[in-house]
Copies of this chain bind each other. A is one copy, B any other.
């Protein structure tokens, strides 16, 4: 029986570049095997099958995904919801690049991203709802 385990010295918090790429596919798929994920990548990506397998194995060691054996292949599933990871990332970025004030961040987003009027309206509606909730 193979080992397939490894201690983690420090808790890993964030996905690396490639891990995020893979996790994005898993979030979209819900779950998937090495082959499933590989198939989702852009054709020009040209990543070897074994590379993809290694990446997913490492992601499991880091507790970003779990695996379940089906037939002879492992099926991987995210352990971290996309929106939770989005929040975590924004919190980190706010702290490191926006002096811990998320308002600055929104300001920057709203003022220079190409955001449609509908998108802006939508966000304002969201804010209104949020502010009303706080009142209660």
Contact = CB atoms under 8 A, between A and B. Distances in A.
Contacts of A127: 110, 120, 123-124, 127
Contact of A97 (B89, B91, B121, B123): B89
Given A106-B109, A109-B102, A114-B91, A128 B124 contact: yes
B109 A90 contact: yes
Contacts of A2: none
A89 B134 CA distance: 30
A103 interface: yes
Given A106-B106, A119-B101, A111 B94 contact: no
A39 interface: no
Interface stretch (A45-53, A58-66, A80-88): A80-88
Interface string A98-115: 100111111111111111
A55 interface: no
By Cβ-Cβ distance, the 7 closest A-B pairs, closest first, are A103-B119, A102-B113, A124-B127, A106-B123, A103-B122, A86-B108, A87-B112
Contacts of A102: 109, 112-115, 119
Contacts of A87: 108, 112-113
Contact of A106 (B91, B110, B114): B110
A9 interface: no
